[in-house]
Chains A and B, each alone.
Chain A
Amino acid sequence: MIDLLNALVVLSNYVLIPALAYGSQLALGALGVTLIYGILRFSNFAHGDTMAFGAMVTILVTWLFQGWGISLGPLPTALLAIPFGIAATAALLLTTDRLVYRFYRQQKAAPVILVIVSMGVMFVMNGLVRFIIGPNDQRFSDGERFIISAREFKKLTGLSEGLAFKTTQGITIVTAVIVVVALFWFLNRTRTGKSMRAFSDNEDLALLSGINPDRVVMVTWLIVAGLAATAGALYGLDKSFKPFIYLQLLLPIFAAAVVGGLGNPVGAIAGGFVIAFSEVLITYPLKKVLGYLLPDRLEPDTLVQLLSTDYKFAVSFTILIIVLLFRPTGLFKGKSV
C-alpha cells in the first residue's frame, strides 16, 4: 500500500504535475491557433513568436515593477504585468492585421498565401523580440518558489518520496482554467461570441444575417492576443524565456490543435493535454515508478525510458501523423479546407 502511494507520488512529481502545467500552456497556445484557423481560415505560423512578444512585454513590465518595489508577496510579480503584455500584443496584432492580413482577406486570397504571409510576419516578430530583449535566457520569476516542497511533503505524509509543487505550475494551471472558462462563457453566452461561432461555421450565412465581419475579426485578434500573451508569459515563468524556444513550441502547439480538430476550441484543449502527457510520459524514465509497483524480482535494471528527452518532437509528431492517418478531422470534429 505504501509502495503504491510512493509510486503515485513519484509519478505525480515527475509526470502528472509537469504535464498538467505544460498541457495548460499548450492548450492556451493551441486555442489561439485554432481560433485564427476557425475565423480567419489560415494556419498562423507567427503564433509562436506572438507568444514570445507577449512574454517579452510582460518581462519588461515585471522588471519595471520590481524596480519600483511593487510585488505580490508570495506570488510572482509577473501576474501584475501580464495585462500589459496582453495590451501590447493586442496592439501589435491589430496593427499587423490592418497593415498586412486585411489586404489578403479583402482579396479573398487562398489560405496558403496567408500562411506564407504569416511566415513573413513570423520573421518580423522574431526579429523584433530579439532586437528588443536579445536572444539570451531571461529570468523574471520571484515570490515563493514552491507551494509545497519535496521536504515539507515528506515530513507531512511520512512517505519516502517527496512531491514538489512549484508556484509557477500552480499559477499556470489556475490561470489556464480561468482563461478557458472565461473564453467558453464568452463564446457560448455573449452576442459577440455567438456571432464569432456563426462566422466560423458558415461565413456567407453569417454575413447574410447581418454580422459585421470586421468586428468579428477584430474581436478574434483581441482574444488571440490575450491567449498568446498569457500562454507565452506562463511558459516563460514556468520554464525560462528564450526567444527561439517559442519557435520550437510551434510544432507541439500545431500538433495539439490538429489532434483536437482544427477550428474546434474543446479539441484544442484536449489536444494540448494529449500531447503534453504523451511527451512527458514517454520521455520520463519509469524505473522508479515500476520499482515501487513490481515485486523485487521483476524490478527493471534499465531506466525504462522509452525515448530520450531530446526526441520530444518525435512524440508530438507521431501522434499528429497517427491522428491524421486514422481520423483526419481530429479527435473532436474540426473543419476541413
Chain B
Amino acid sequence: MTINYKNIGLFFLVACLILGTGFVQSWNTALFILNMGLVSAIMALGVNLQWGFAGLFNVGIMGFVALGGLAAVLISMPPTTEAWAAGGLRVILGLSLGAATVTAAILVQLRMAAGRARTLTTIAILIGGFFIYRAVFDGGVAAVEAVDAAGTGYLGGLNFGGASYKDWGFMTLISWPVGGLLAAGVAWLIGKTALGLRSDYLAIATLGISEIIIAVMKNEDWLSRGVKNVIGLPRPVPYEIELQESAGFIEHTTALGLDPVTSSSIVVKLGYAGLFSIVLVIVLILAQLALASPWGRMMRAIRDNEEAAEAMGKNVTARHLQIFILGSAICGVAGAMMTTLDSQLTPSSYQPLRFTFLVWVMVIVGGSGNNFGSVLGGFLIFFLWVQVEPMGAILMQILTSGMAEDNVLRLHLLDSVAHMRLLTMGLILILVLRFAPKGLIPEK
C-alpha cells in the first residue's frame, strides 16, 4: 500500500481550516463545525453507498435524516401518560386499521385474477378502509392533542426514567440505531415500489417521499408535536451547568487559567465530538470493508453495466433494494445524532437545499465512489457552508468600501450576504463537475 500524500494533504488542509476557525473566531464555532462535519460525513457516506457504489439517485435524503430525528424524540423523551390514557390505544388501533387496509388491497391485487372484479374489490377496500381508519384515528388524535397542548399534546417517547428522565441520557444513544432502523423501514417501503423505476423517476419519487415525511412530522402533532417542536431532549453528555457547579471542574480549569463558563461548553462539545467520531469510524470501516468485499465488487459491476450483471445471474433489483436500505439507514443514524446535538426537533427546519442537495454537493465534491472522499467532502463543504457568510461579508465590505455609507446598493449587498452560501455551493458543484468530475479523492 502506497501512501497517498495528496489525500493526506487534503485532510490536513481541512483540519487546518477548522483549527484556524478556532484560533481566529472561537473554539465554540470550530467545534460546531467539527461536530456537524462529523454528522455530515456520515450522511455523505450513506449517500455515497447509494450513488457511488450502486448508482442509485436518491434525492430524498432529507426525509431519512428527519426520520432519524423523529426516532431521537420517540426513544429519549418520557411518555405522556395522560395522553396514552386519553387516546393512545385508539391512535395505534387507527394506524393498524390503516395498515390492514393497505395490506388487504395489496393481497387482493396479488391473489385475485386480473379483471374488473379485482379492480372493484381493491377500490372498495381502499375507500371503505379509509373511512373506518379516519373514524377511529381522528378521535384518538383529538384526545391525545387535547392533553396539555401547550406543554405536551403528544404521546411522547419511551424514556421510562420518570421525573428524572433527563438523567437517562443514554437513551439518546439507543435512539441512534433506532433512527437507522426507522429510516431503513421506510426505505424498504419506498424501495419496494420505486426501485424498479428509471433513474429520473426514482429521483422524483424520493423527492416526493421526503416532502411527505416532513409534512407528516409538521402536522401529526400527536407524534412529533408538529411545528410546536420538541425541546429539551436528554443528552448523552453532561450539562454545562453541572460542570460549572462541580468543584473539581472549576479547580481544573482555573489551574489551567481558563474561564469555567467557556470551557464547560467546549468540554460538552468535545464530548459530542468523541461520540460522533466513534460512529463515523465504525461506519467508515464497515463501508471500506464492504467496498473491498466481493459484495462491493458486485455492486460496482451492477452500477457499471446492469444488463451484464443480470446476465451473470445477479439479482439487480434485490441488490439495489439492499443498498438503498443500507444507505438510508446510515442517513437515519446521522439524523438522530444531529437531533441529539441540537437537543430539539424542529420539523420546519428541514429544507431540501440544506439536507438533500447539500449532501449531494459533499459526495460529488469529495469524490463519488470513494468513502474517504465523502468524509472529506462532508467536512469541507460544511465548513464552507458556515464560513461563506462571514467571508462574503468581508468581501462585500471591501467591494463596497468606495461607496457612500447610505448608498442603497451597498446596504442591499451587505444585507444579502446571507444568501451567498447557496450561490457559492452551486458554483462549487458546477466547477467540480466540470473540471474534476471524479471529485477531490477519485474512486480507485
Contact = CB atoms under 8 A, between A and B. Distances in A.
B13 to A, nearest CB: 23
A228 B427 CA distance: 22
Interface string A268-307: 0000000000000000000000000000000000000010
Interface residues of A, dominant DSSP: helix
Contacts of B430: 100, 117, 120-121, 124
Identify which of B201, B203, B434 gathers the most chain A CB atoms within 10 Å of its CB: B201
A111 B200 contact: yes
A130 B364 contact: no
Given A126-B422, A127-B421, A311-B212, A337 B416 contact: no
Contact of B204 (A127, A131, A258, A325): A258
Contact of A119 (B212, B351, B357, B416): B357
Interface in B180-229: 193-194, 197-201, 203-205, 207-209, 211-212, 215, 218-219
Interface stretch (A170-178, A204-212, A230-238, A247-255): A247-255
B422 A127 contact: yes
B215 A321 contact: no
Contacts, number: 131
Interface stretch (A12-20, A74-82, A312-320): A312-320
A310 B215 contact: yes
A124 B423 contact: yes
B433 interface: yes
Interface string A99-127: 01001000000011101110111111111
Nearest to B138: A302
A321 B193 contact: yes
Contacts of B59: 45
A65 B353 CA distance: 34
A232 to B, nearest CB: 18
A179 B249 CA distance: 72
B435 to A, nearest CB: 10
Nearest to A123: B426
B357 A122 contact: yes
Contact of B208 (A115, A120, A244, A320): A320
Contacts of A128: 423
A277 B203 CA distance: 24
A119 B193 contact: no
A202 interface: no
Contact of B219 (A123, A258, A311): A311
Contacts of B32: none
Given A116-B364, A134-B416, A317-B208, A123 B425 contact: yes
Given A116-B364, A124-B427, A321-B193, A247 B204 contact: no
State the 6 A-B residue pairs at the shortest beta-carbon distance, nearest first.
A123-B426, A127-B423, A127-B422, A124-B426, A120-B429, A317-B208
6 contacts: A43-B204, A112-B55, A120-B361, A123-B422, A125-B426, A317-B208
Given A103-B434, A314-B212, A320-B204, 16 more contacts: A43-B200, A117-B429, A120-B430, A122-B426, A123-B361, A124-B422, A127-B422, A127-B423, A128-B423, A134-B415, A135-B419, A247-B352, A251-B204, A255-B204, A311-B219, A328-B197
